[in-house]
DNA sequence: ACCTAAACCTGGGCGC
DNA sequence: TGCGCCCAGGTTTAGG
């Protein structure tokens, strides 16, 4: 499910509620989700949580880290003493925990628990040496990331200059390029759709043919829609929930994504839905040239 | 380089 | 109520 804003929302929750907990043991219910030696995490304390594009890294105090990618339907849900009172886990999205979709349970000290749920089982969790994280493909093959989140010091950031460079000489369609993690880190289908709408650019345009003004407009639009996604704590159109099990709100603010049955919010015209880059693609032919 | 389809899975929505 | 079909925010791989 998640793109940069959703994964960042998860990361913030892990940082707030998981850090400081010691991992007592781990219950692996679906072994294919997990890679590496899970024994290494036992007895270690959680130091921090990082995000690289759409991937998460939970750092432990013993030289190991837990890397994870939630793909389409993965969820990390925290329960324990740090959990604020009065916040209910969305029954619609996760049900009672553990559920039949809970594939890994991290049992923490002080009675805490971190559940990994994943309906479609596409996600993965890997135990790796912290010193090897930067050498892993999900980090070293990741393109520069739009500077919209707070934990990005020392990272390769997508400046306007880099964005211009990424687009130059590329004959691929602009929407497919926006979603290519090796070129730009963190943007997926929803935010690519919305950024192109906000910038007034047709998703079928060839990247290298965008004018300088269009490149600048699109760059600003990418940052803007990601910031809105963060502000609304992600899009819970389907299965996304935060670390506390709360739904995000960005789905109530989609600009064009999912709007094929409602009129264009700008001109009132009919929104088109096409297949592009292997994904459903929404755009207004009047407003996006 | 670039594009497409298929694969990994399950569930929800829709038409009939 | 039920069945079949299509769709779903991601990524990888194979093949054209």
At A118 the pLDDT is 97
Q: What's A242-283 look like in SS3? A: CCCCCCCCHHHHCCCCCCCCCCCCCCCCCCEEEEECCEEEEE
CA of A40 to C1' of B1 (A): 42
Nearest residue to A74 via CA among A240, A199, A273, A222: A240
pTM of the model: 0.97
Q: Are residues A77 and A117 in contact, defined by beta-carbon separation less than 8 angstroms?
A: yes
Residues 6+ apart with CB under 8 A from A79: A89, A97, A112, A113, A115
> Which of A2, A98, A144, A203 is labelled catalytic?
A2
Burial of A194 (0-12, 13-18, 19+ CB in 10 A): buried
State the catalytic residue, choosing from A54, A113, A170, A183: A54
**pLDDT tens string A83-122:** 998 777 776 566 679 999 999 999 999 999 999 999 999 9
A2 in active site: yes
Q: Which helix (H) or strand (E) holds A75?
A: strand A74-79
Any strand C atom closer than 7 Å to A171 CB: no
pLDDT in tens, chain A (289 residues): 699 999 999 999 999 999 999 999 999 999 999 999 999 999 999 999 999 999 999 999 999 999 999 999 999 999 999 999 877 777 656 667 999 999 999 999 999 999 999 999 999 999 999 999 999 999 999 999 999 998 787 789 999 999 999 999 999 999 999 999 999 999 999 999 999 999 999 999 999 999 999 999 999 999 999 999 999 999 999 999 999 999 999 999 999 999 988 899 999 999 999 999 889 999 999 999 9
Is A279 known to be catalytic?
Answer: yes
Q: In 10 A of CB A30, how many CB atoms?
A: 13
CA angle A69, A3, A282 (to 5 degrees): 135
């Amino acid at each position: 499910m998640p793109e940069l804003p959703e994964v960042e929302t998860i990361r913030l929750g892990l940082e707030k509620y998981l850090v400081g907990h010691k991992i007592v043991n781990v219950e692996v219910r679906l072994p294919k989700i997990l890679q590496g030696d899970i024994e290494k995490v036992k007895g270690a304390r959680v130091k921090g949580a990082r995000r690289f594009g759409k991937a998460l890294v939970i750092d432990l105090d013993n030289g190991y880290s837990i890397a994870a990618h939630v793909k389409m339907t993965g969820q990390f849900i925290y329960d324990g003493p740090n959990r604020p009172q009065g916040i209910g886990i969305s029954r619609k999205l996760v049900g009672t925990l553990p559920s039949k979709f809970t594939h890994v349970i991290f049992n923490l000290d002080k009675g805490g628990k971190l559940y990994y749920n994943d309906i479609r089982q596409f996600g993965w969790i890997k135990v790796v040496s912290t010193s090897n994280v930067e050498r892993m493909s999900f980090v070293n093959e990741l393109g520069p990331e739009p500077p919209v989140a707070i934990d990005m010091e020392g990272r390769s950031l997508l400046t306007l200059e880099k964005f211009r460079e990424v687009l130059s000489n590329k004959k691929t369609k602009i929407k497919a390029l926006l979603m290519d993690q090796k070129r730009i880190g963190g943007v997926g289908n929803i935010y690519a759709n919305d950024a192109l709408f906000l910038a007034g650019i047709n998703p079928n345009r060839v990247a290298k043919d965008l004018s300088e003004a269009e490149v600048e407009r699109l760059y600003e639009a990418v940052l803007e829609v990601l910031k809105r996604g963060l502000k609304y704590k992600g899009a819970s159109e389907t299965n996304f929930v935060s670390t506390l099990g709360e739904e995000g709100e960005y789905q109530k603010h989609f600009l064009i994504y999912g709007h094929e049955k409602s009129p264009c919010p700008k001109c009132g015209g009919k929104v088109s839905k096409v297949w592009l880059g292997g994904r459903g693609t929404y755009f207004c032919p009047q407003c996006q040239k």
